[in-house]
């Protein structure tokens, strides 16, 4: 039928990706686009430019845009009937400090490409369709990932999000939203901006599709994770005069904790990672008396994350007190005890996507790939968090993954082949059209 024959325009999609990537590279407009990285932290000037492009482009395509109190930007194209909430396509335009051109960006630009295909072909959908750009999905600048879809879903209080301070600097989300003109007046809530469904196209960010030689991942859910800040307190002392037994070295102690959390996670089929570490006072010749570091714990099941968290709490207390939890303690001279405190910053429980959306994606993938589909499509869960986690708390949701080179993401070398970007966008378009007709 006609709708099945609608095709995304690969060249136009790639142009949009690279066009939006002029903001956040330091590369000047007019210079040849490269396939390399992005640094577009949430609510930066570059993010504002990309947001302005999103608003201007979607409005020119006949959408009405709404900006909510978290800066989430919803563009809606009316349907034949408007008595049901729109089916949304969503992702994010912010990136990691050393990010790539596909994580998040592909999902938003594929949504815009969907709008262009519908407009070009004069398609009227049964119900409205929309594209949403979620704020600060990365959690890189403001350290809660998916924070703005979390507020929309009612899982994170608006105040918590507005008061969230940037990792390096004094600005808050509220002050930066207001500075760039994206502190919208519409409440950030699924009741004021309801969704009929949420579909998200994303690069896999891992190696599974590429290794299995598959083209499309039908995503059935997302693993659980928990973010902690660990603070170790010892004593500032002189590095040249303080013997090892008289030191309370907060950094040495923190290092043992990082290593130990890695060992615990490995033994429990989980992951534990530290990405931020701050040592004070930060002087070559002072033994650091205070260290804080981030800990990101992930596993497929909530119980595994909870269990690992308990083990980490218990063992970090022992490590701080100077007990031999670690093999390396045997060869370390024990110093004075430190203290440790842990704050729980954020939890993302394991998510299972709605079977209606999962089957819409699966059916769309099979229709798009035709006879080769059985070799090219695979069901999988996501190791990374996505705004679809929170969307799924309020409406049927699922995701489409496409392979990325060597599974590399959160890195300027992140790369997704043009034909894979377009194939994913095609499956996205067909998923939305199928869901519209359900
Ligand atoms: C969210 O982007 C996460 O997986 O950290
Ligand atoms: Mn992403
Ligand atoms: Mn990311
Ligand atoms: Mn993510």
Residue 71 has a pLDDT of 99
- What is the number of the ligand 1 atom nearest to the C-alpha of 298? 4
Which residue in the block uniquely carries the two structure tokens 């136009």? 12
Q: Euclidean distance between the first and final Cα of the chain, in Å?
A: 16
**Cα torsion 376, 379, 385, 388: sign:** positive
| pLDDT, position 324 | 67
Query: Are 390 and 146 contacting, i.e. CB atoms less than 8 angstroms apart?
Result: yes
Q: How far is CA 181 from CA 78, 131, 149, in A?
A: 26, 20, 19
Q: Strands 339-348, 224-233: parallel, antiparallel or unpaired by DSSP?
A: antiparallel
Contact 7, 426 (CB under 8 A): yes
384 lines ligand 1 (CB under 6 A): yes
* Residue at token pair 């790369």: 415
d(CA 369, CA 9): 16
**Residue 436: predicted pLDDT:** 87
- For 159, other C-beta atoms within 10 Å of its C-beta total 10
Asked whether 275 and 259 are in contact (CB, 8 A), the reply is no
Neighbours of 51 (CB within 10 A): 23
How far from chain centre, in Å, is Cα 49? 20
Which residue's CA lies nearest to atom 3 of ligand 1?
385
Q: Which domains does the chain have, with CATH numbers?
A: 2-222+350-436 (3.40.630.10), 224-348 (3.30.70.360)
Helix residue ranges, H only, 9-102: 10-20, 45-60
* Confidence (pLDDT) at 62: 97
pLDDT at 226: 98
Residue 331 has a pLDDT of 61
Phi, psi (degrees; rounded to nearest 5) at 73:
-120, 120
CB 145 less than 6 A from any atom of ligand 1: yes
φ and ψ at residue 193, rounded to 5 degrees: -130, 80
Burial of 281 (0-12, 13-18, 19+ CB in 10 A): exposed
User: Could you tell me if 365 and 427 are in contact, meaning their C-beta atoms sit under 8 angstroms apart?
Assistant: yes
**How far away, in angstroms, is 22 Cα from ligand 4 center?**
21
CA distance 37 to 412: 4
Which atom, in ligand 1's list, is nearest to the CA of 296?
A: 5
Query: Which 8-state DSSP code applies to residue 368?
Result: H
The pLDDT score that the predictor gives to residue 372 is 87
Distance 58 CA to ligand 3 centre (A): 24
As residues whose CB is below 5 A from the ion ligand 3, the structure lists 103, 138
CA atoms of 62 and 77, how far apart (whole Å): 6
The pLDDT value recorded for residue 339 is: 98
| Smallest CA separation from ligand 1 atom 5, residue | 385
Cα(160)–Cα(177) distance, rounded to whole angstroms?
A: 14
The atom of ligand 1 lying closest to the CA of 138 is 2
- pLDDT at position 334: 79
What pLDDT, on a 0 to 100 scale, did the predictor assign at position 31? 61
Nearest 5°: phi and psi at 129? -125, 155
Contacts of 413 (CB under 8 A, 6+ apart): 36, 37, 100, 405
Given this model, what pLDDT does residue 333 score?
A: 72
Rounded to an integer, what distance in angstroms lies between the CA atom of residue 310 and that of residue 286? 32
Give the count of alpha carbons within 13 A of 178, CB side only: 6
Q: Tell me the per-residue pLDDT of 97-122, one tens digit each, with 9 for 90 and over.
A: 999 999 999 999 999 999 999 999 99
ipTM of this predicted complex?
Answer: 0.96
Kindly state the tokens that stand for 324: 């031999």
Antiparallel, parallel or unpaired: β 351-352 and 216-222: antiparallel
**Residue that is written with structure tokens 């790539």 in the block:** 100
Is the pTM higher than 0.80? The answer reads: yes
Cis peptide before 281 (omega within 30 of 0): yes
Per-residue pLDDT of the chain (438 residues; tens, 9 = 90+): 678 889 999 999 999 999 999 999 855 555 655 677 899 999 999 999 999 999 999 999 999 999 999 999 999 999 999 999 999 999 999 999 999 999 999 999 999 999 999 999 999 999 999 999 999 999 999 999 999 999 999 999 999 999 999 999 999 999 999 999 999 999 999 999 999 999 999 999 999 999 999 999 999 999 999 999 999 999 999 999 999 999 999 999 999 999 999 999 999 999 999 999 999 999 999 999 999 999 999 999 999 999 999 999 999 999 999 986 665 555 677 789 999 999 999 999 999 999 999 999 999 999 999 998 889 999 999 999 999 999 999 999 999 999 999 999 999 999 999 999 999 999 999 999 999 887
Segment (H or E) for 216: strand 216-222
Q: Around Cβ 438, how many Cβ atoms within 10 Å? A: 14
| Any atom of ligand 1 within 6 Å of the Cβ of 385 | yes
d(CA 103, CA 106): 6
Question: What pLDDT shows up at residue 33?
Answer: 57
For residues 304, 309, 310 and 313, what is the CA-based torsion angle, rounded to 10 degrees?
160
DSSP state at residue 70: T
On whether the CB atoms of residues 12 and 113 are closer than 8 A, the answer is yes
Model pLDDT, residue 13: 98
pLDDT of residue 26: 59
């Amino acid at each position: 039928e006609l709708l099945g024959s609608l095709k995304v325009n690969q060249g136009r999609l790639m142009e949009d990706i690279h066009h939006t990537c002029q903001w956040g590279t330091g590369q000047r407009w007019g210079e040849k686009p490269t396939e390399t990285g992005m640094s577009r932290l949430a609510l930066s000037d570059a993010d504002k430019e990309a947001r302005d492009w999103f608003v201007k482009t979607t409005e020119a395509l006949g959408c009405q845009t709404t900006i909510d109190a978290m800066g989430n930007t919803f563009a809606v194209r009316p349907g034949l009937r408007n008595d049901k909430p729109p089916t949304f396509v969503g992702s994010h335009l912010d990136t990691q400090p050393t990010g790539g051109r596909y994580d998040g960006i592909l999902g938003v630009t594929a949504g815009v490409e969907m709008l262009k295909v519908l407009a070009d072909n004069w398609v009227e959908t049964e119900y409205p369709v929309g594209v949403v750009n979620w704020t600060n999905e990365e959690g890189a600048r403001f350290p809660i990932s998916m924070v703005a879809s979390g507020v929309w879903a009612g899982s994170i209080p608006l105040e918590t999000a507005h008061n969230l301070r940037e990792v390096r600097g004094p600005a808050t989300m509220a002050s930066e939203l207001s500075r760039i003109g994206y502190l919208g007046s519409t409440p950030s809530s699924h009741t004021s901006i309801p969704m009929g469904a949420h579909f998200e196209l994303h690069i896999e960010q891992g190696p599974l599709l590429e290794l299995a030689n598959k083209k499309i991942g039908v995503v059935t859910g997302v693993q659980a994770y928990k973010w902690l800040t660990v603070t170790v307190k010892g004593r500032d002392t002189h590095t040249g005069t303080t013997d090892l037994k008289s030191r309370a070295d907060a950094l040495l102690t923190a290092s043992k904790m990082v290593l130990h959390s890695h060992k615990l996670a490995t033994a429990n089929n989980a992951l534990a990672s530290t990405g931020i570490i701050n040592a004070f006072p930060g002087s070559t010749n002072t033994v650091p008396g205070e260290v804080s570091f981030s800990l990101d714990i992930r596993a497929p099941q909530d119980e595994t994350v909870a269990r690992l968290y308990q083990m980490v709490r218990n063992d970090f207390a022992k490590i701080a007190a100077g007990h031999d939890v670690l093999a390396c303690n045997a060869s370390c001279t024990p110093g004075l005890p430190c203290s440790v405190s842990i704050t729980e910053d954020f939890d993302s429980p394991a998510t299972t996507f709605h079977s209606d959306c999962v089957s819409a994606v699966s059916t769309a993938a099979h229709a798009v790939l035709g006879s080769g589909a059985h070799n090219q499509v695979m069901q999988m869960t996501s190791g990374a968090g996505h705004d679809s986690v929170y969307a799924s708390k309020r409406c049927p949701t699922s995701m489409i993954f496409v392979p990325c080179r060597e599974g590399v993401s959160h890195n300027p070398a992140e790369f997704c082949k043009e034909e894979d970007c377009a194939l994913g966008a095609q499956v996205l378009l067909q998923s939305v059209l199928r869901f519209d007709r359900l």
